[in-house]
Structure 1
Amino acid sequence: MDKLFGDLKSFFKTKKCTIDSFIFRLHYRFTFLALIAFSIAVTGRQYIGDPIDCISKDDVPTELLDTYCWITTTFSLKSAWRKKVGEEVPYPGVDKYVEGEERVYHAYYQWVCFVLFFQALLFFLPRYLWRNTERHYIKNLVMEYNSPVVSASSKSETTKLLVNYLHESTGYHTFYGTMYNIVVIMNFVNVVGQIYLVDRFLGGEFTTYGSEVLSFTEWDYTLRYDPMIKVFPRMAKCTFHRYGSSGDIMKYDAMCLIPINILNEKIYIFLWFWFVILAVLSGLEVVYRLAIAFLPKFRFYVLYSKCRKVNENDLKLVLNRCDRDDWLILSLLCKNMADCNYVCIIRQMAKKLRNEKDI
């Protein structure tokens, strides 16, 4: 287990070239890794540990009963969820079954590890698409300008080549910029969609899961009804059938402890709060991208705030020539270049544009 988690550390290494935003990285780095780690933890507990223990006084072998109840699923009685524990029932949802009572079956916890892994892949998909679109484009443009110290012999010629390229490629970054906007929107749609995906998976309990857990902590102790037991019960019932000595079908009622649900409930409490936070941040990033697309002045203020050393008039002149997709290139260059080098690039671009006007 330590080796499996240790292999994930490489994802946290800082990349030499930044080609996206901090919120974007929360999707494919933090959230992706968290879901993979949760999937590994649940898999280890489920298939290496002991996910279920069933109790029966009859002569049914314990291992057989555990396996049967794990495969065929356990159930709770809806009418017994709010009964007093210790007086009316041994555990919420666990009571004597009367024919016709509504049962709530618990089968989804067997699939938690697979669903978590599938969710992780969905969070990594926008990153995969963007990386295959970007193809080290910014890294190739930055070259050695990520360092504030560049040899004087190569700086002049390299700066001239880069400025000429940026000047000639102005207006030709539509596909690059459009794809970035698409994957940003995909991030937002994905996290919102996953909230409803998990809600469907957990039987319609996830959307209100976190809010109910918060309200639960404020209830009077004697009246508390833990909402987590509805989704991930730590004890449930199971009915085992077999032939008796006379050939009749015999039913054995068993209570099953499900320790794996202690881990599952903590995972989904975390995911509820994290998905809500991430959905809000992703929504704000979509709004930010819309402002960048339709407000030229906003583009200037954003870029100027990233590098205060640049001359305002030079930057305005350059941005007047650039569209929103060219702005993305200049913004990513600003993130990856040392300030002194970026100022030099903008100055040379502005100088080139002024010379064009004078001709």
Structure 2
Amino acid sequence: MLDVIRSLKSLLKTSRIQIDSDVFRLHYAITVIVLLSFTVVVSMKQFVGEPIDCMKSREVPQSVINTYCWIHTTFSMPSAYDKKVGKEIPYPGVDAGYLPGDSHTEEFKHHKYYQWVCFMLFFQAALFYFPGWLWKLWEGGRIQALMMDLDIGLFAETEKNQKKKLLVDYLTSSSGQHDWYAVRYFFCEVLAFINVIGQMFLMNRFFDGEFLTYGLDVIKFSEMEQAERLDPMIRVFPLVAKCRMFKFGSSGNLESHDALCLLPLNIINEKIYIFLWFWFILLAILTGIVLIFRIVIIACPPVRVYLLNFRFRIVCVEHLQTVIKRGSLGDWFLIYMLGQNIDAVIFKEVIAEMAKRVTTERKDVV
């Protein structure tokens, strides 16, 4: 299993070329590797180990009752959560209760998610990977092509000047033609935000309305008195549950076999989903802040200059104002991305040359 998890490290290989933000990479890189690692761990336990172990009836083989209860789900009784363990009930949610199928069936809470956890985690990983994959497809290696190895900075002076001239020529001649490039990236960031919010509701649906408040319930649980509190993880991920198997007896009559089942897989599941709850909340907050910042950048062009000046302090602010004032939002975004990738000194010279050309063009027009 460890070898499989180590092989997932290839997803974390960082490229020297940055075409997106750190927060965006948290979605399609870090979160994907986390979800895939969880998928491997749960799959190994589910398909290699024993995901369920039921107390057998003498008339039903152990393997049969285990397989039956795994396939047909287990259940708990919400009415038994408040009873005293060891006096009235053997475990929270486990009571004598009524037979499924009678008029009191609504008192049973069936647990049917655990068969699908590994598949759901993999599906979530695919959803998180999609915005990053889409942006890489749309970006098409533009930043890499424009860099021309200018991130190294160790060139012969002639070669360096030639590459800088080619870059400046492209940026000045294509001014105003990169808006769609920026819009596509902003759309992928919005898609990532929608995905993480949507997955919160998807998980809530998956766990029958228990996931949205899961983390808050765990926090409240830690602050309650020992004698009064019920672990919310037991309610969502019970370690002990009931199962009833029906079969025909030797005389043709219907027999019911009551089993008490241990679900050791839920020890892993409860830890996985409490982590994912806090992680999704953090991702949603960070991505929301980034999107608010994008709106400010779109609505307030002067902020673009301040951001470039803050990010690349060695560049003359007058040159930045000259270049950004002439260009569009897409031009600013492309320049910002180039600034993250090429050598700082070379970037300063590129901006200075662009400002010089813009000033010369204005004088020629006048």
**What TM bracket, shorter-length normalisation?**
over 0.9
CA–CA distance in structure 1, aligned partners of residues 38 and 115 of structure 2: 14
CA–CA distance in structure 1, aligned partners of residues 218 and 92 of structure 2: 16
How far residue 3 of structure 1 moved from its aligned partner, in angstroms, is 2.2
Q: Does 1:181 align with 2:189?
A: no
**In structure 1, what is the equivalent of residue 228 of structure 2?**
223
**In structure 2, what is the equivalent of residue 62 of structure 1?**
62
How far residue 65 of structure 1 moved from its aligned partner, in angstroms, is 0.6
How far residue 322 of structure 1 moved from its aligned partner, in angstroms, is 1.0
2:122 aligned residue (117, 122, 131): 117
Superposed CA deviations along residues 168-207 of structure 1, whole A, max 9, x for unmatched, are: 1110012211101100110111101110010001000000
How far residue 4 of structure 1 moved from its aligned partner, in angstroms, is 1.4
What SS does the aligned partner of 2:245 have?
strand
Superposed CA deviations along residues 13-33 of structure 1, whole A, max 9, x for unmatched, are: 221100000000000011111
**In structure 2, what is the equivalent of residue 336 of structure 1?**
341
CA–CA distance in structure 2, aligned partners of residues 85 and 56 of structure 1: 22
Count the aligned residue pairs: 359
How far residue 59 of structure 1 moved from its aligned partner, in angstroms, is 2.5
CA–CA distance in structure 1, aligned partners of residues 12 and 200 of structure 2: 25
**In structure 2, what is the equivalent of residue 211 of structure 1?**
216
Identity among equivalent positions (%) equals 44
Give the conservation status (yes or no) of the 8 Å contact 1:202–1:231. Answer: yes
**In structure 1, what is the equivalent of residue 358 of structure 2?**
353
Q: Does 1:315 align with 2:320?
A: yes
What SS does the aligned partner of 1:110 have?
coil
How far residue 281 of structure 1 moved from its aligned partner, in angstroms, is 0.5
Superposed CA deviations along residues 213-250 of structure 1, whole A, max 9, x for unmatched, are: 01101111111201111111100000011221211111
**In structure 2, what is the equivalent of residue 275 of structure 1?**
280
How far residue 58 of structure 1 moved from its aligned partner, in angstroms, is 2.2
What SS does the aligned partner of 2:227 have?
helix
How far residue 57 of structure 1 moved from its aligned partner, in angstroms, is 4.1
CA–CA distance in structure 2, aligned partners of residues 347 and 237 of structure 1: 74
Taking structure 1 as the reference length, the TM-score comes to 0.98
How far residue 149 of structure 1 moved from its aligned partner, in angstroms, is 2.2
Give the conservation status (yes or no) of the 8 Å contact 2:245–2:257. Answer: yes
**In structure 2, what is the equivalent of residue 20 of structure 1?**
20
Q: Does 1:9 align with 2:24?
A: no
Q: Which amino acid aligns with 1:19?
A: I
Give the conservation status (yes or no) of the 8 Å contact 2:24–2:192. Answer: yes
How far residue 135 of structure 1 moved from its aligned partner, in angstroms, is 0.9
How far residue 56 of structure 1 moved from its aligned partner, in angstroms, is 2.7
Give the conservation status (yes or no) of the 8 Å contact 1:58–1:252. Answer: no
Pairing 1:126-165 to 2, within 5 Å after superposition: 126-165=131-170
Superposed CA deviations along residues 76-126 of structure 1, whole A, max 9, x for unmatched, are: 112111211111100011110225431110011110111111111111111
**In structure 1, what is the equivalent of residue 289 of structure 2?**
284
CA–CA distance in structure 1, aligned partners of residues 266 and 243 of structure 2: 16
CA–CA distance in structure 1, aligned partners of residues 358 and 247 of structure 2: 87
**In structure 2, what is the equivalent of residue 36 of structure 1?**
36
**In structure 2, what is the equivalent of residue 300 of structure 1?**
305
Q: Which amino acid aligns with 2:196?
A: V
**In structure 2, what is the equivalent of residue 235 of structure 1?**
240
CA–CA distance in structure 1, aligned partners of residues 350 and 65 of structure 2: 73
**In structure 2, what is the equivalent of residue 98 of structure 1?**
98
Q: CA RMSD in A?
A: 1.0
**In structure 2, what is the equivalent of residue 47 of structure 1?**
47
Q: Which amino acid aligns with 2:286?
A: L
What SS does the aligned partner of 2:86 have?
coil
CA–CA distance in structure 2, aligned partners of residues 69 and 275 of structure 1: 32
CA–CA distance in structure 1, aligned partners of residues 25 and 268 of structure 2: 26
Q: Which amino acid aligns with 1:260?
A: L
How far residue 153 of structure 1 moved from its aligned partner, in angstroms, is 1.9
CA–CA distance in structure 2, aligned partners of residues 38 and 256 of structure 1: 24
Q: Which amino acid aligns with 2:241?
A: A
Q: Runs of 5+ in structure 2 lacking a partner? A: none
**In structure 1, what is the equivalent of residue 176 of structure 2?**
171
Give the conservation status (yes or no) of the 8 Å contact 1:68–1:240. Answer: yes
Q: Which amino acid aligns with 1:50?
A: E
How far residue 358 of structure 1 moved from its aligned partner, in angstroms, is 2.2
Taking structure 2 as the reference length, the TM-score comes to 0.96
